[in-house]
Structure 1
Amino acid sequence: MLAIIGRPNVGKSTLFNRLVGKKLALVDDRPGVTRDRREGEAELIGMKFRVMDTAGYEDDDPASLPGRMRAQTEAAVAGADAALFVFDARAGLNPLDEEIARWLRTSDTPIILVANKAEGKAGDAGINEAYALGLGDPIQLSAEHGEGMVELFDAMRPHLEDNFDPGEPLEALGDDEQGPLKLAIVGRPNAGKSTLINRILGEERLITGPEAGITRDSISIDWLWEHDGQSREVRLIDTAGMRKRARVQDKLEKLSVADALHSIDFAEVVVLLLDSTKGLELQDLKIADRVLEEGRALVIALNKWDVAEDGSKLYQGVRAALEEGLAQVKGVPLLTLSGATGKGIDTLLAAAFETRDAWSKRITTGQLNRWLERALEANPPPAPKGKRIKLRYATQANTRPPSFVVFGTRVDELPESYRRYLINGLRRELGLGAVPVRLTLRAPKNPFDKKSGD
């Protein structure tokens, strides 16, 4: 359990909504909107956990309403695995922030200091002040725009990873209900994203034209794919074109790009649409890399194939560039289609559903450990300084994306090359294909040794 605390109106509920992926908590500029503790199932970059939004901490009589709200907040912190102490970086610290910090320093609960509203440079002074609270380095983020979430994930992970106990039934950790395929279409401006979606829907649902950047908001449309006598639900998400960051100057375009990135976070499969008349550019690789970092399944499609020149040479060139530029995931599906004529659309949707199946796959513990045994026999771990690294067993911690934990001794000395060997083996032998795979190495805790080593 993760608790979010702080004085009123610092953005706690906005951060809560960001983590749960829904607007469950009311958000308003007026302080004191949240009164009761609100819990939700959250996910951040593939790590799932429960999160609790709390009332703004106020210094009032215990019998008053603010006082009773404060008691609820104190109870939430006491029962949490970790707590996020949120302050407003733009407003800076005030005496109530300092009082909350004094209370938290006496708590046994790990505290992560969060500087919210830190976009731009307006929060720099408040961030510098925060070091005096004695709660470590502040994590700089914008809950409203989704900036800084990777850094927040890194800070939270040591405190929440242990929630996945391999001795407990793992089925409860994954969400096997597929529901509609959440399919986001992303790419550079004028790659034909809106035209493609209009062709899929069979109607002019979205505005299109030769001008780049027509789409500003991410538009979500529910649709039924009728194919081979089956009806399958799809939620199509059109996004704004994403140019190189240095070229994005207009405030509205910045918000549009932020919205597109936000859509990636909540998609299951992301289609990166390339313009066949322009080929693959560095910006395309950056977008693809962002999708994979967020743990989303990726499919790449060459659009405008009906007007492409020397298609075979173009396809082979793009494939080679992807293999080199996306070294962390080999074999990402690369398809050709035409949003103008509709050719290749059914193939694209079939590939998207197949990719989601791999992304959602759960592997039994027995099957996983038989694979690990074969992998170790074929290529044993190295022995730094003559001491063998022992990998004992593996378990699947989560799906969407597939996430695994391998337990052993001296795992901190295992080279990155061997870790990649294990990930590639998981993909190849257990049918995970070219989806992101998370692999955590962990030494089992020894109750008789505080070093938690061998």
Structure 2
Amino acid sequence: MAKLPTVAIIGRPNVGKSTLFNRLVGKKLALVDDLPGVTRDRREGDAHLLGLDFRVIDTAGYEDMDAVTLPGRMRQQTEAAVRQADVALFLIDARAGIVPLDEEIARWLRGSDTPVILVANKAEGRAGETGVLESLSLGFGDPVQLSAEHGEGVADLFEALLPHLDGKAEDEPEEDEESPDAPLKLAIVGRPNAGKSTLVNRMLGEDRMITGPEAGITRDSIAIDWEWQGRQVRLIDTAGMRKRAKVQEKLERLSVADAMHAVDFAEVVVLLLDATRGLEVQDLKIASRVLDEGRALVVALNKWDVAENASKLFNGVKAALDEGLSQVKGVPLMTVSAATGKGIDQLLEVAFETRDAWSRRVGTGELNRWFERAIEANPPPAPGGKRIKLRYLTQAKTRPPGFVLFGTRVDQLPDSYQRYLVNGIRRDLGFGAVPVRLTLRAPKNPFGRS
């Protein structure tokens, strides 16, 4: 019988770990009581969740005690369970909100090699809303919201667990995809006749022209596994996107549609321009939509070996990109020749660097030290004489990087100030010219002080 993947449930005492354990195994194997510390030893059981089978471990409530004491020995058992697990479910009590022990557990888990899924238990109703918002400060992204007692939110838990547990031999888990050693998923898009097919063939070192589809049949983008200087690349080929069209407008629509289909599979997108034609409106539309989808973008001027007035052309395209792409300034602009191969190595090097920035995560401490300096250098405005108080900033996700800003009256924070923060994050924290998302959140507790 195949060994099942393992899930450990971790959290401070009395957040509902044993209740969730019982819910997952389908029977009351673990004792449950309102008294904290009922569970001491690790308890294991076979879980079945919407067709997903795994081994689940119920751990003792994590307490910061000396190792010679009983709570300290219980904590050691909990730490051992997490080390053995494929993924850990970090439970917090959404109704109680975040307490110092939750923050202590979060610091320990961030230093662990085990992937962590944050779970906000007891999240049903309005009573748990504040705790859910506070949990973002722990640095594990948006929590899975559920009620272990009532069985609400198990579908969301299934979706969070699936990448870590299902089909590990065939499908790379999400954590592996974020590894710098994982294949770079690179899509090459652009208008017809920009030279995509020639560039793909030059990269692969063989004539592998993808012919267009039969009339009326939509073609999926094709992934070609390839190695460049010992590094793995999964090339998303859109070379065959051309379709017969009598009207130029229709051809452009098909061009954009196929390019965006390739974007769905990519991490970094290379927008290939024809240097003999410069930057056209349709190129900007494609670039803008790539950034709106949250993908990292690199622009490459092809046919550079036959371009006229090269310096003037380069500067003109760069200025037009900065002006036309309001989301991101300073998108990398490269020059290549698919015909001769010149510039391809530099293009791929920049593509890997761009993915690193797109996947970057900044520690909460470093992020908030930067945040304090940013608001000290340029305090937020006070519309109507009422001060906007910005409390803290946390990175909720990567790929693309997303940040959540907490404070009072943040709904009145001007767009210009939000751009100031986003531009500073890119400039000072190593994100470069990748799309950065900033979400504003204020406490929803009607009795909270503003």
Tell me the TM-score normalized by structure 2.
0.59
Q: Counterpart of 1:177? A: 179
Q: CA deviation at 1:171?
A: 7.7
State the distance in 1 between where 2:257 and 2:266 align. 15
Q: What amino acid is the match of 2:304?
A: W
Equivalent-residue separation in structure 2 for 1:326 and 1:38 (angstroms): 44
Q: 1:169 to 1:353 in 2, by over 3 A?
A: same
Pairwise mapping of residues 118-197 of structure 1 onto structure 2 (< 5 A)?
165-170=135-140, 175=175, 176-178=178-180, 179-197=182-200
Given that 1:411 and 1:443 are in contact with CA atoms closer than 8 Å, whether structure 2 keeps it comes out as: yes
Give the Cα–Cα distance (whole angstroms) in 1 for the partners of residues 137 and 219 of structure 2: 47
The question of whether the paired residues in 2 share the 8 Å contact of 1:188 and 1:241 is answered with no
Alignment of 1:21-420 (within 5 A): 37=50, 165-170=135-140, 175=175, 176-178=178-180, 179-207=182-210, 217-226=220-229, 231-239=230-238, 240-241=240-241, 247=248, 249=250, 258-420=257-419
The one-letter amino acid paired with 2:402 is S
The offset of 1:328, in angstroms, is: 1.9
Contact in 2 for aligned 1:396/1:402 (Cα 8 Å) = yes
| Cα distance change on mapping 1:311 and 1:216 into 2, 3 Å | farther
In 2, distance between residues paired with 1:256 and 1:321? 21
Secondary structure at the aligned position of 1:271 is classed as strand
CA drift at 1:194: 1.0
- 1:363 Cα deviation after fit: 0.1
Q: CA deviation at 1:261?
A: 1.3
Q: Distance in 2 between matches of 1:321 and 1:166?
A: 38
* Contact 2:192-2:255 within 8 A present in 1 as well: no
Task: Show the counterpart of 2:429.
Answer: 430
Q: Deviations over 1:217-238 (max 9, x none)?
A: 5221000102xxxx10000112
CA contact (8 A) 2:183 2:233 kept: yes
TM-score scaled by structure 1?
Answer: 0.58
Q: Is the 8 A contact 2:271 2:299 kept in 1?
A: yes
Q: How far does residue 165 in structure 1 lie from its aligned partner after superposition?
A: 2.5
Q: Deviation at 1:177?
A: 2.7
Instruction: State how far apart, in whole Å, the 1-side matches of 2:224 and 2:271 are.
Output: 18
| 1:327, distance to aligned residue in structure 2 (A) | 2.5
Paired residue for 2:94? none
Helix, strand or coil at the partner of 1:404: strand
Once the two structures are TM-superposed, the CA of residue 109 in structure 1 deviates from its matched residue by 9.5
Separation of aligned partners in 1, 2:255 and 2:125: 38
- SS of the equivalent of 2:136 reads coil
- Alignment length (residue pairs): 289
Q: Output the amino acid matched with 1:405.
A: V
Give the counterpart letter for 1:166 in structure 2. L
Deviation sequence 1:207-261 (CA, Å, 0-9, x none): 489xxxxx965221000102xxxx10000112155899x84548xx977754431
2:337 aligned partner, one-letter code: S
- Which amino acid in structure 1 is aligned with residue 412 of structure 2? E
Q: Distance in 2 between matches of 1:304 and 1:180?
A: 27
User: Identity rate of aligned residues, in percent?
Assistant: 68
| 8 Å CA contact retained: 2:142, 2:396 | no
Q: Is the 1:242–1:257 contact (alpha carbons within 8 Å) kept by the matching residues of 2?
A: no
For structure 2, list consecutive stretches of 5 or more residues without a partner in the other structure. Answer: 1-48, 53-123, 144-173, 213-217
Question: Please, what is the CA RMSD of the aligned residues?
Answer: 3.3
Q: Which runs of 5+ in 1 are unaligned?
A: 1-35, 40-107, 111-158, 210-214
SS at match of 2:197: helix
Kept in 2, the 8 Å contact 1:277–1:308? The answer is yes
SS at match of 1:406: strand
Q: What is residue 30 of structure 1 aligned with on the other side? A: none
SS of the residue corresponding to residue 338 of structure 1 reads coil
Q: What CA distance in whole angstroms lies between the structure 2 residues aligned with 1:235 and 1:346?
A: 16
Distance 2:300 2:449 in 1: 47
Q: Match of 1:266, SS?
A: coil
Q: Distance in 2 between matches of 1:337 and 1:162?
A: 48
CA 171–380 in structure 1, closer or farther in 2 if over 3 Å, else same: closer
Q: Which residue of 2 aligns with 1:133?
A: none
Letter of the 2:418 partner, please give it: R
Select the structure of larger CA radius of gyration: 2
Query: Would the aligned equivalents of 2:390 and 2:406 in 1 still touch at CA under 8 Å?
Result: yes
How far apart are residue 310 of structure 1 and its match?
1.0
Q: Quick one: distance in 2 between partners of 1:216 and 1:257?
A: 14
Q: Which amino acid aligns with 2:179?
A: E
SS of aligned partner of 2:393: strand
Whole-angstrom distance in 2 between the partners of 1:164 and 1:336:
46
Q: Deviations over 1:286-306 (max 9, x none)?
A: 000000000000000000001
Which residue identity lines up with residue 380 of structure 2 in the other structure? Answer: P
Conservation of the 8 A alpha-carbon contact between 2:361 and 2:395: yes
